[in-house]
Structure 1
Amino acid sequence: MRIEVNGIALEVQVSGEGPAVMLVHGFPDTHACWRHQVAALNAAGYQTIAPDLRGFGASDKPEDLESYKIAAYAGDLIGILDQFGIDRVHLVGHDWGSALAQLVAIMAPGRVIDLACLSVGHRGAMLSAGWEQREKSWYMLLFQFQGTAEQWLTQHDFSNMRQMLTEHPDRDEVIERMRDPRALSAALAIYRKGVPPEWLLNGDAILPPISVPTMGVWSSGDRFLTERSMTGTEEHVAAPWRYERLDGIGHWMQLEAPGKVTDLLLDFLASAEAQAG
């Protein structure tokens, strides 16, 4: 369904009944990247809310770059909860979705029961992860250059983007969506407003700690993120912390190893429900 939040229309998939779980995707995905988890969570007695972030999928794609400030994405997620009358939610995020879910947990901890961070840890952990992580993050600087990044990704029938997404199970679908120049630029906007060069270079504006129970999940085949960038998140969580490592799996873990990811989520959510009960 499409709903109006903060002056824009967002596509949101809502299904199931029970305690609410919000699933937040990252770049370059849509809510469809959670399809395996949605089915399993619904079957286990949870309601799932899986939006397309602004600039992605079927959601609106504002032309003004200022519309993509990171706080706006987080505000959209809180606005979605308000629209559906959800007071408190289990939050699950992957890639940029993890970063945004963390921001929601920091901005509105009273709205979040617990938080599962897939692939991407706390910003402070990313910055303290050392040179290896900075090497893996090279593309974040490239993405800052409007026009240049789009040309590099799309040239020779998206050959560079295909290489970046080598292990993405939905790579062909992603490429087809990004053939729309507006869709590609809107998706890249999250990097342009979320990780400006000055942040990459000097690490200003470290976020406060997370104050809700948190699980971090990292996969050893991730070409973009080091394990230290996730394990270091523990230092930024002022609440119970759990770490899980998935060996031999790439960045898009919820699609590459859906059963393993779903089992971890169900166990984590059940633990929170038991403690709440």
Structure 2
Amino acid sequence: MRIHVDGVSLEVQDSGEGPAVLLVHGFPDTHALWRAQVHALNAAGYRTIAPDQRGYGASDRPQEVADYGMEEQIRDLTGILGVLGVPEVHLVGHDTGAAIAIAFAAFLPERVVSLTSLSVGHASAFAAAGLPQREKSWYMLAFHFPGLAEEWLSRDDFAALRDWTRHPEADEVVARLSDPAALTSALGFYRANITPESLLLPANTLPQLKVPTMGVWSSGDRFLIEEQVTGTERHVTGPWRYERLEGAGHWMTLEAPEEVNALLLDFLGSVRR
């Protein structure tokens, strides 16, 4: 379905009945990242709401970098929930979608029953992870060269993107990003929120997480180290749970769907409002 929020039209998959779970994807994905989780959650009696984030999939692609700022990202999610008449949700995010979900939960805890963050931790924990994490984050700096980043990623049938990400569904990703406008908009989040300065300086203060929170990291993640997830515990005042998935790569929802589903169902079922 299409949902219009402050002049932006977003594609949203809404299915199932029961307590609502809002699923927030990251780069370079769409709501399809969650298809195995949607099936399991719906079968277990949950309603799932999975948007294509602005700039991705069938959703609109604003042209200005500022249009991809964190406030705009959070406004999209609250707007979707408003249109659907959903006052509170279990919130689940992956990759940059996890960063959005964490910020949402930090600033609007009254709207969040629980938070599950896959791969990415609290911004302060990310900053505290130090040089080992910064070394893995080199591509975030590369993304800040407009035109050059797009050329690097797309040259020779997206050879660099295929080799660098090792995305399990690379052909589908390449087909979507072959439109130059789609590739540029997919980089919008990084250009608006993860500036070169932010990778060198201490993180801006993000409120503590007051809601029940589960962090999940996979041992095969090529982009993010474990400490930036485990360190999130220091920034959670509510109940905290950490889970490590052995062997799975960064795209754990696709590479280890049964394990992710089991963790989600167990965690969501343990949370009481």
By the TM > 0.5 criterion, same fold?
Answer: yes
Matching residue of 1:113: 113
How far residue 266 of structure 1 moved from its aligned partner, in angstroms, is 0.2
Q: Secondary structure at the match of 2:110?
A: helix
CA shift for structure 1 position 197: 0.9
SS of match in other structure, 2:59: coil
Question: Amino acid of the residue matched to residue 179 of structure 2?
Answer: D
Identity within the alignment, %:
60
Whole-Å separation in 2 of the counterparts to 1:75 and 1:163: 34
Structure-1 residue corresponding to 2:138: 138
Distance 2:203 2:29 in 1: 28
- Alpha-carbon separation, structure 2, partners of 1:206 and 1:144: 23
Name the residue aligned to 1:14.
14
2:127 and 2:203 in contact (8 A); partners too: no
> Aligned equivalents of 2:221 and 2:66: distance in 1?
31
Q: Could you say which residue in structure 2 is the equivalent of 1:262? A: 261
Which AA in structure 2 matches 1:162? R
For residues 37-90 of structure 1, the C-alpha deviation after alignment (integer angstroms, 9 at most, x for no partner) is 000100000000000000000000011222111110111011111111111100
Q: Distance in 1 between matches of 2:116 and 2:161?
A: 28
Mapping of 1:1-277 within 5 angstroms?
A: 1-166=1-166, 168-272=167-271, 275-276=272-273
Matched AA of 1:128: A
CA distance in 1, matches of 2:198, 2:58: 30
Q: 1:119 to 1:204 in 2, by over 3 A?
A: closer
How far, CA to CA, are the matches of 2:61 and 2:189 in structure 1?
A: 12
Letter paired with 1:71 = E
Q: TM-score, normalised by structure 2?
A: 0.98
- Which runs of structure 1 show a deviation greater than 4 angstroms over 4 or more consecutive aligned residues? none
Give the whole-Å Cα distance in 2 for the aligned partners of 1:93 and 1:66: 22
| SS of structure 1 residue aligned to 2:247 | coil
Contact 2:24 2:93 in 1 (8 A): yes
1:118 to 1:204, Cα distance in 2 relative to 1, 3 A: closer
AA of the residue aligned to 1:137? S
SS in 2 for 1:86: coil
Q: How high is the TM-score relative to the length of structure 1?
A: 0.97
Letter in 2 for 1:149: A
Contact 2:143 2:187 in 1 (8 A): yes
Deviation at 1:206, TM superposition (A): 2.7
Contact 2:124 2:203 in 1 (8 A): no
Quote the offset at 1:6 in angstroms: 1.7
Could you tell me how far apart the structure 2 residues matched to 1:132 and 1:150 are? 26
Structure 1 residues 208 and 49, CA gap change in structure 2 (3 angstroms) = same
Secondary structure in 2 matching 1:41: helix
Whole-Å separation in 2 of the counterparts to 1:165 and 1:192? 18
**Structure 1 residue 203, shift from structure 2 partner:** 2.3
Query: 1:105 and 1:114 mapped to 2: Cα distance?
Result: 8
Distance 1:209 1:145 in 2: 33
CA distance in 2, matches of 1:137, 1:206: 20
C-alpha contact 2:22 2:48 (8 A) present in aligned 1: yes
Shift of 1:208: 1.5
Unaligned runs of 5+ in 2: none
Q: Which runs of 5+ in 1 are unaligned?
A: none
After TM superposition, the structure 1 stretch with the greater mean CA deviation from structure 2, 227-236 or 66-75, is 66-75
